[in-house]
Amino acid sequence: MSDLSPPRISHIRRFSSREGRLRHIFLRDRLLGAQKYDRIAGYFRSSIFEVAAEEIASVGKIRIVCNSDLDPADIQVSKEVRAQALMKQWWEGTGEGGVAVDTLLRRDRYTLMRDLLTAKDGNSQPKIEIRVIDRFTAPLIHGKAGIITLADGTRTSFMGSVNETRQGWGEHYELVWEDTSEEGIDWTQAEFDYLWKRSVPLPDAVVTEISRCADRIEVRIPDCPPWDEQGDVDLPRAALAESPLVRAGEGLQPWQKAFVSEFLRQRELYGNVRLLLADEVGVGKTLSLATSALLTALLGDGPALILAPATLCEQWQTELVEKLGIPSARWMSNEKAWADHRGHVIPSRAEDITRCPYRIAIVSTGIVMRMDAVERRALLERRARPGEAAYGIVILDEAHKARGRAEADGSREANNLLDFMNRIALRSRHVLLGTATPIQTNALDLWDLMGILASGADHVLGGDLSRWRNQPEEALRLIRGEIRPRTIEDAWEWLRNPIPLGRGETDPLFGYLREHFRMADDGALTSSSYTDLPEDLRWDIADRLEEDRRGIAFFQENNPVVRHTVLRRRAALENAGLMKRVAVNLHPRPVEHDPRTRAFYGATGRAVASTIPLQDAFVAAEAYTSALMERNRGAGFLRSLLLQRICSSSIAGLSTTLAIARRTCIPEAGEGEAPAVLRADGDDQEFDLAQLGEASQAERAALRDLLGHLRVAASASPTGTDADPKLQVLRHYLREVGWLGSYGCIIFSQYYDTARWIADCLAAEFSSTPVGLYAGAGRSGLYKDGHFASAERTTIKAAVRDRRLKLLVATDAAAEGLNLQTLGTLVNVDLPWNPSKLEQRIGRIKRFGQARSEVDMLSLVYEGSRDEVVYDRLSQRMRDRFDIFGQLPDTIEDDWIESEEHLERELRKHAETKARLSAFDVRWGGTATGQGATPAQAAWQSGWETCTKVLARDDVEKALAEGW
């Protein structure tokens, strides 16, 4: 029989791992002393250089292109986004035991990688370059190949199944073909060059992390100093160096680290910390506050209690565990039970709210606002364990809701939340308040918050006789610079009570005073009179009071508010390059040139033309609420709630109207269960429907009319020209204007009823396009091809992040903390009468990693509705520059909506109040941008993610799993 096998080709050699380890029989001899090595490899892993370390170190130049799961859009956005994605992949590739086990067992490997990746050639250029390629240009590089220029200048090429890992070259069954022909070498080089040109460099952050891992050691909590900016380790760095946030390629931002530094500084100076965090919306207050809670728990200061609106409690718990790896328990008010971070429910009784199974507890502010609640009383009466305060730290989110109300006699009456906070602050070692808007309509709102901080802490506002405590209106005028002390003796009364600790204060005058009076390190008060001062100090005080620094008077810069209110502005962060500046285009435009778009709007061009049933519903709603208010002046909240829901959609309006009508026994409402209370979505406010009382004939008639009109409006077809006007406009922007295809879109509503309705309608309109519904727990899901499937919110977030989902409908409450920078347009289906939510909504896409330099925001309001009046005023203030904070309050009060003129007057008053009270930039601006930081402070800031001494995870979990 003749031999039918092909002729033997001399330039092809075949190698199999059956015949020996490939690194011995093929790789090492060729790499030793080689001039150059180009390699198409798989994923970048820690064993990439372990196969032939000595030989690799002898190569002149090495270039390796690796797999990645990066989306091309991520590569185009910024180096920072690439670094985040690749750092996340690096951590995922460290094996089941994670980096702790991998670095312990393979420390030599990490040391080798660090040395090779940081090695330089004779021209001080890196000897090794590693690049990664996106998943679309070369999905999962299965074709492995390489080109080696040998020591004598000759070249060879190879390809096969072997990956550039220790397992690939030394353990797995692999095949390699070597081709020494010029044709084969050139062909392989061309493949490498194609991938190399389309790849991006391995981020420096990954190289830095490899260096950190090479020197990583674990330390115990008792061996770790609480705070040491001069040393190489302290508790915040050791606790967070390997947090989930860092593993995701992120980490705390500089201004968040600066807040933690201030927290620890005050803890060291005063023993108890009192701070109001008033960073602007979108700057990230939650992580700053949460990190402080973590450190308090680890330091053994006592239990941590986080108070937040009901709709934010679950988000707090999610952020704690997903960003910082912190276990916690959340009090479920209705069930009277604790829910841990894994979703396990621990049955309890109301009084067991003081028996949290974890060190950190999250409780709704709604429960403590009820004066008769068992939980409120239990929290206030909790006994401290030996060596601890009753609470190590109390954190109040959305702190502006704790405020007083001016009474007719000139006094100020605390609301239930403010009363609770004043009481519990006396029992807490540390108190932190968080709000982007500490002033609502009156600067005394801020003083209410200062009063909380001063409870049990004389160093904040001084003792009982302090002018700062007893003369708040005059104190505010002094802080604004409207007045100055009339005499030096008068100035001394403001100056001496309290006297801040000299350390940390920029003005040396306080140090001189403390030294003269020999004040104790933790003392804040002196009873000495002005006559007790020596003449040189009197002159120092007089000179300093006459001197304005940077145009700011002495008491504008040196006062309790500025000392204890940390405020950093987004504009400063953008100017420093720490946050990307993203412009916002508002729609509808003032002058709309597209006739198709203009046709959707009414006479003003700002409101969507309404249908007759909707117009009739608005009139009936006004008639009902006016009749209700005539009989029951305490129903202002219900009035606002009903009008807002009707302005949102006929669906949301109908569900609320039915609840009221059934409670009022209107036969037209039909049978059905009526809720006992109505709550505002995203708020702890509620209205007990039992307070409605006996409805008047005018109310009953208006309710009947309202029901009829809303039922007609709600029955409109979800598609076609008969659809609701908002749906038609939304459809136009998504399809004809191209928002869906070009940029993706996030659609917001305050109300689940509206969000679900919008999602249902869009899923019917765009049946082949995935549509996401992001709502409360158990109510989220995905639509496609006429089907709906429930989905976890983490699944939906991942789909948006990976650009598999470009159309998302979300509620405000669910979207707290949601990052949607992969989407480029936003639609407000309704207008929150809480203007800071507009900033929060746009903040979802104006995020780090947003590809667009400007994003689009469309706000939909019905013509003739109360929303139109509100939006008309707000849009004028948003038009030139989207920067709400400082110009708009957090909440529009119920009585502001009486008329357009009244609303404008109140908005102007708020803006003027905010503009006058601003001395924070001088003290805190540098902490946001790093300007003025000492070398040690700068090193401390940058050392969080590179800290080689880390806390043992078992120690952390044990400390945080300790119950109350």
The pLDDT score that the predictor gives to residue 922 is 64
Beta strands in 244-291 (DSSP E): 274-277
Given a cut of 80, whether residue 111 has pLDDT beyond it is yes
Q: What mean pLDDT is predicted for residues 633-642?
A: 79
* Structure letter (DSSP) for residue 179: E
C-alpha to C-alpha distance for 437 and 398, rounded to whole angstroms: 9
| 361-416 pLDDT per residue, tens | 999 999 999 998 999 999 999 999 888 889 999 999 999 999 998 887 778 899 99
The pLDDT score that the predictor gives to residue 52 is 74
Domain 12-214 CATH superfamily: Endonuclease Chain A (3.30.870.10)
Q: Which of 680, 648, 642 is nearest to 660 (CA)?
A: 642
C-alpha to C-alpha distance for 278 and 853, rounded to whole angstroms: 27
Of 8-22, 663-677, 919-933, which range is least confident? 919-933
Of 141-155, 684-698, 711-725, 760-774, which range is least confident? 684-698
Of the two residues 600 and 914, the one the predictor is more confident about is 600
Q: Is 722 helix (H, G, I), strand (E, B) or coil?
A: coil
Of 187-196, 244-253, 329-338, 748-757, which range is least confident? 244-253
Q: Is 550 helix (H, G, I), strand (E, B) or coil?
A: coil
Of 41-55, 711-725, 786-800, 857-871, which range is least confident? 41-55
The pLDDT score that the predictor gives to residue 479 is 87
* CA distance from start to end of the chain: 88
What band does 888 get if pLDDT is binned at 50, 70 and 90?
very low
Of 153-157, 244-248, 290-294, 396-400, which range is least confident? 244-248
Specify whether the backbone of 149 is left (phi greater than 0), alpha (psi in -120 to 50) or beta.
beta
Q: What mean pLDDT is predicted for residues 872-884?
A: 48
The pLDDT score that the predictor gives to residue 892 is 46
C-alpha to C-alpha distance for 850 and 360, rounded to whole angstroms: 34
The pLDDT score that the predictor gives to residue 889 is 41
Q: What mean pLDDT is predicted for residues 595-617?
A: 90
Of the two residues 483 and 293, the one the predictor is more confident about is 293
Tell me the backbone φ, ψ of residue 276, rounded to 5 degrees. Answer: -105, 115
The pLDDT score that the predictor gives to residue 183 is 95
The pLDDT score that the predictor gives to residue 789 is 96
Tell me if 12-214 shares its fold with 249-486+548-564+927-957: no
C-alpha to C-alpha distance for 290 and 934, rounded to whole angstroms: 26
Parallel/antiparallel/unpaired status of strands 781-784 and 771-774: antiparallel
Parallel/antiparallel/unpaired status of strands 854-859 and 412-414: unpaired
Average pLDDT score, the chain: 84
Other beta carbons within 10 Å of 876? 12
| 32-45 pLDDT per residue, tens | 999 999 999 887 77
Show the tokens assigned to 427. 């029992």
What band does 275 get if pLDDT is binned at 50, 70 and 90?
very high
Q: What mean pLDDT is predicted for residues 695-723?
A: 90
Helix (H) or strand (E) holding 174: none
Q: What mean pLDDT is predicted for residues 745-759?
A: 93
The pLDDT score that the predictor gives to residue 687 is 60
- CB under 8 Å to 954, separation ≥6 — which residues? none
- CB under 8 Å to 891, separation ≥6 — which residues? 400, 440, 833, 834, 835
Given a cut of 50, whether residue 1 has pLDDT beyond it is no
The pLDDT score that the predictor gives to residue 572 is 80
Show the tokens assigned to 423. 């009481």
Of the two residues 81 and 804, the one the predictor is more confident about is 804
The pLDDT score that the predictor gives to residue 508 is 84
Q: What mean pLDDT is predicted for residues 514-539?
A: 86
Return the residue matching tokens 């729609």. 587
The pLDDT score that the predictor gives to residue 272 is 94
Other beta carbons within 10 Å of 853? 9
Tell me the backbone φ, ψ of residue 59, rounded to 5 degrees. Answer: -75, 145
Domain segments of the chain: what residues?
A: 12-214, 249-486+548-564+927-957, 583-607+717-884, 613-714
C-alpha to C-alpha distance for 787 and 764, rounded to whole angstroms: 10
C-alpha to C-alpha distance for 40 and 578, rounded to whole angstroms: 36
The pLDDT score that the predictor gives to residue 781 is 95
Q: What percent of the chain has pLDDT over 70?
A: 85
Most confident of 290-299, 342-351, 568-577, 898-907: 290-299
The pLDDT score that the predictor gives to residue 236 is 95
Most confident of 234-238, 506-510, 659-663: 234-238
Of the two residues 236 and 578, the one the predictor is more confident about is 236
Q: Which of 615, 626, 628 is nearest to 661 (CA)?
A: 628
Q: What percent of the chain has pLDDT over 90?
A: 41
Of 112-126, 489-503, 839-853, which range is least confident? 839-853
Per CATH, which fold does 583-607+717-884 belong to? Answer: Rossmann fold (3.40.50)
Give DSSP secondary structure letters for 470-522: H-HHHHHHHHHTS---SSHHHHHHHHSSS---STT-S-THHHHHHHHTT--TT
The pLDDT score that the predictor gives to residue 883 is 34
Per CATH, which fold does 249-486+548-564+927-957 belong to? Answer: Rossmann fold (3.40.50)
Q: What mean pLDDT is predicted for residues 551-567?
A: 89
Given a cut of 60, whether residue 914 has pLDDT beyond it is no
Please write down the HEC assignment for all residues of 860-929: CCECCCHHHHHHHHHHHHHCCCCCCCCCCCCCCCHHHHHCHHHHHHHHHHHHHHHHHCCCHHHHHHHHHH
Given a cut of 70, whether residue 822 has pLDDT beyond it is yes
Give residue 144's identity as a one-letter amino acid code: K
